[in-house]
Amino acid sequence: MAIFSRLTGRQATAEAALEAAVLRSDRFRQEREADWKRLEGIVTRMESGRLRRLSDADVLELPVLYRTVASSLSVARETSLDAATLTYLESLVQRAWFLVYGPRTTLWSWLARFFGGEWSRAVRSIWPELLVALVLMIAGTAIGWQLCVHDPDWFYALMPSEPGDLRAPGASHDVLKGTLFGHQNQNALSVFAAELFSHNAGIAILCFALGFAFGVPPLLLLLQNTATLGALLWLYHAQGLTLDAVGWLSIHGTTELFAILLSGGAGLHIGRSMAFPGTRSVLDAAAAAGQRTATVMAGVVLMLVVAGLLEGLGRQLIDNTPGRIVVGYGILAFWLGYFFLFRRTPAGSEDE
């Protein structure tokens, strides 16, 4: 009997505790449920895009109601209220958070801002490094040319050839000219174009990614990549095909080399910021430079895609040097105009 009495007493105590918890949960919900429902109604209308149905009072009360419901969630967790209430509050607070503190721009608005001046301003903000990168690229082209002038074997070191590749020192005028024209219906040139594009895209990415090493790797990569260009131009110049080679390269090269210039400048900018951080720490300087150059590199990816399309289509479809030069340098003029002449400044921001 004593054991039975103790069990009955424990069961009664448990039932009383359960009833108290339920009562406490019900009272908690009743006292605050009006705010929860009001916030849920505002959030639901905003998520469904019915913003016109929101009054000024609703918009002003949204952050206040969010903080109130977040406080309710905190209390509910501390007092171990029922699981259904906790789940409901967690979901509501999460939905409201995205509306109060989440990103307020859509993909289309971001693209409009990016192309509407953000990208061009980011490029202009690193103009000293772009000048250095341009000088390095010109120097690399000259170095590659001069190395081949003094020793043609340098061509093989700078431009490893594939089996069957006709572009080699000693090739005749007609053979080299045949590599530039008459390939509209052949795939060999497309394969080479794809390889060249992949190579240059890799150089662009490495120039930026290795900038943290105080800018030294981008310096070397810019010199090495354009030395290859110098060797190629030397080869065609030896047979009087310089202009034709420039036209062949310009279809995609003006965009691709510009992308490499930007990525090299971005890498040098990060390296310079780390080498000369000023009053900031090295990490703070690198973080600030990374934010500026990330915008530049987002555009570089786009330029590489455009260059790939031009390389795969334009150079095949346009089979004459004047047409190639007009297209290639017309696109170069477009990039120069966008980056250095297009100076639109959104409200609330300042151009450099």
Phi-psi region of 283 (alpha: psi -120 to 50; beta: other; left: phi over 0): alpha
pLDDT, position 347:
44
* pLDDT average, residue stretch 59-63: 80
pLDDT, position 38:
86
Instruction: Report the C-alpha gap between 335 and 303 in whole angstroms.
Output: 10
* pLDDT at residue 13 tops 60: no
Q: Report pLDDT digits (tens) over 74-105.
A: 877 776 667 777 888 888 888 888 777 766 55
Share of the chain above pLDDT 70, in %: 76
Give the tokens for residue 81.
């209220």
155: amino acid identity, one letter: F
Instruction: Report the C-alpha gap between 191 and 24 in whole angstroms.
Output: 74
pLDDT, position 118:
86
pLDDT, position 130:
92
CB atoms within 10 A of CB 49: 8
pLDDT, position 207:
75
pLDDT, position 140:
93
pLDDT, position 7:
44
Q: Report pLDDT digits (tens) over 253-283.
A: 899 899 999 988 888 888 888 888 878 787 8
Q: Report pLDDT digits (tens) over 311-335.
A: 777 766 788 889 889 999 999 999 9
pLDDT, position 18:
45
Q: Report pLDDT digits (tens) over 101-159.
A: 766 556 677 778 888 888 898 899 899 999 999 999 999 999 999 999 999 989 888 88
pLDDT, position 184:
56
* pLDDT average, residue stretch 299-308: 86
Lowest mean pLDDT among 18-22, 47-51, 242-246: 18-22
pLDDT, position 293:
87
Instruction: Report the C-alpha gap between 78 and 142 in whole angstroms.
Output: 72
Instruction: Report the C-alpha gap between 314 and 322 in whole angstroms.
Output: 13
Do residues 118 and 295 make contact, with C-beta atoms less than 8 angstroms apart? yes
For the chain, the domains span 2-100, 108-340
CA count, 13 A, side-chain hemisphere, 351: 15
* pLDDT average, residue stretch 296-302: 88
